[in-house]
Structure formats: C-alpha cells, structure tokens
C-alpha cells in the first residue's frame, strides 16, 4: 500500500507536501511578520510553526534572540527541525497550544494559519498569555468569520450523499472560525490589556485543476479526506470537489477570510 493510498491520519499532516504547496499561507505570514517591529534580541515563540518556513524568516529578523518553533504535528515538527537546521538560535518542540509548556518566557508570540484548528480559544489565549513576559505581544493570523464557507458547504453536501454518508457518521467540524468581536473579548478575558482584531478577505485562485487538487487535499480538505477509509472512494470524493470548483468564478478559487490578531499584555 502506497502512502497516497492510505487514509491520512486525522491529527497529522503531510508536512513535505505542505512545505511545497503552502505558498498562500507563507505569503500571508510574511505580511503578518512585517507588522512586528523587532529589535533583534527578542525571545519569540512561533505557535504552530508548520514546516518552519516562516520560522526561518522570523529567526533572520531576531539574529541575537531565541526562537522556539512549536507544533502539535510530529510530521511538521520533524520537517521544521530540518528546515531550521542551519538556524542556531532556533529550537523545535512538539506541544499542544492548549497546554503551552512555557511560563513568562517570551517577548513575542507569533502565529499564522493555526488558531482556527483549536476549538477552545478561551483556553488557548489564557495559555498564550501565561507564556508571555510583561509587555509581551501576540501577533497572529488565522481563518475567521466566513472562512471557506463555500467549500465547506459543498464538501458537506457531497458527504451527505449516498456514496459517502456512512463515512461521515458523527462528523463534527474540527475548526473554529471566530469573529473579531469574539476574539477581542476572549483576549481581554485571558488577561491581554489591549487587543485589536479584524477580518481580511483573501480569495485565492489556483491556475489549474491539478494545482487546486494538490493544495486542497493537503490543506483544506484534509479533515474530510481523513474520514474516508477506502482509497477509491476517497479519490471519488476529492474529484467531485475538484470538478465543482471548476465552476467557481473564477475557477478553482478558495474563499479565504483571515482573522488578524494584535494584542499586548500591557
């Protein structure tokens, strides 16, 4: 049985594929990083580092500091360690952001494309607040509001069909796309003294069905595909969604909405 014929593990990622296809996330992350004024000697946590591409950029902007890259996925943490092998001020830990293993350690927590995978944002922000030093800062971006609503409605409709219904028995959405108002309230309740959150529309169009398919199966459809145990059935499910995306305007477009988060402890 090949790697591609196996059902992906629900809590894991294909980190090698993600490293190759995650150009949209990387580009958004660079813009978030540009919001952060760094002196260069900060202690920084990259909360949800993925394959380490953005962590490497972050470390280059804090050459006299320490950057800790954290991810729950074993595959991502392993790939991040390889990506950061020539960045001596970086270390990689595998940890759950709902149970951050640091207290009062960081000047900055940076995160992109991660928080929407965590259901309990109240606990998340309390943990992140506890990991920051006085005058610490949280700068982040994740999916929010109506993020990918069109794709998810389409995926749910196909999943409810007779071919796939049994595969999705008990299905629960694994994401939390919060609003700016909800997020600001949770941040203040967690102990952040100042918080500003806003939505940014970021529709992303892929140049071909192949590029859309590769991205979708690695990133946005990963939880759905993990439910389908049979390889042939999983392929039919994916191809039904790719075919439907051809009718988007423009074709093969993902309706992304990014929730931006900027908060300080003082």
Q: Which residues of 123-138 are buried (b: 16+ CB within 10 A; e: fewer)?
A: ebbbbbbebbeeebbb
Contact residues for 260 (Cβ-Cβ < 8 A; gap 6+): 32, 140, 141, 197, 198, 199, 200
User: Count of domains in the chain?
Assistant: 1
Per-chain mean pLDDT for the chain:
95
pTM: 0.94
Residue 5 has pLDDT above 50, yes or no: no
Residue 93 has pLDDT above 80, yes or no: yes
Mean pLDDT calculated for residue range 94-117: 97
35 is in which domain, residue-wise? 3-264
Mean pLDDT calculated for residue range 85-98: 94
- Confidence class for position 11, pLDDT limits 50, 70, 90: low
Question: Which tens digit of pLDDT belongs to each residue from 37-88?
Answer: 999 999 999 999 999 999 999 999 999 999 999 999 999 999 999 999 999 8
Quote the crossing angle between the two packed helices 231-245 and 209-218, to the nearest 10°: 130
- Confidence class for position 266, pLDDT limits 50, 70, 90: confident
In whole angstroms, what is the distance from residue 182 CA to residue 192 CA?
A: 14
Mean pLDDT calculated for residue range 128-146: 97
Residue 1 confidence (pLDDT): 35
Mean pLDDT calculated for residue range 126-145: 98
In whole angstroms, what is the distance from residue 68 CA to residue 46 CA?
A: 6
Residue 144 has pLDDT above 90, yes or no: yes
Residues in the chain: 266
Q: Read off the DSSP letter of residue 69.
A: E
Candidates 47, 24, 28; CA nearest to 220 is: 24
Question: Which tens digit of pLDDT belongs to each residue from 184-201?
Answer: 999 999 999 999 999 999
What's 236's domain CATH number? 3.40.50.150
């Amino acid at each position: 049985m090949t790697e591609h014929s196996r059902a992906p593990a629900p809590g894991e990622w294909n980190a090698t594929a993600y490293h190759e296809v995650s150009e949209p996330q990387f580009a958004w992350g660079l813009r978030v990083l540009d919001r952060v004024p760094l002196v260069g000697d900060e202690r920084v946590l990259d909360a949800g580092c993925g394959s380490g591409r953005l962590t490497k950029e972050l470390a280059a902007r804090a050459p006299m500091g320490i950057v800790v890259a954290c991810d729950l996925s074993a595959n991502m943490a392993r790939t991040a360690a390889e990506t950061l092998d020539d960045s001596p001020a970086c270390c990689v830990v595998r940890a759950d952001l709902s149970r951050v293993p640091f207290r009062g350690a960081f000047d900055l927590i940076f995160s992109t494309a991660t928080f929407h995978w965590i259901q309990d944002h109240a606990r998340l922000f309390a943990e992140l607040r506890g990991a920051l030093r006085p005058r610490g800062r949280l700068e982040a971006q994740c999916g929010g509001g109506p993020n990918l609503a069109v794709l998810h409605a389409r995926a749910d409709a196909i999943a409810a069909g007779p071919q796939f219904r049994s595969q999705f028995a008990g299905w629960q959405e694994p994401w939390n796309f919060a609003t700016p108002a909800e997020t600001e309230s949770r941040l203040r309740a967690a102990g952040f003294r100042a918080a500003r959150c806003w939505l940014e529309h970021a529709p992303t169009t892929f140049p071909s069905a192949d590029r859309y398919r590769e991205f979708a199966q690695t990133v946005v459809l990963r939880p759905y595909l993990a439910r389908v145990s049979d390889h042939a059935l999983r392929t039919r499910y994916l191809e039904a969604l790719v075919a439907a995306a051809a009718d988007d305007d423009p074709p093969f477009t993902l309706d992304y909405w990014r929730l931006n988060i900027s908060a300080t402890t003082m």
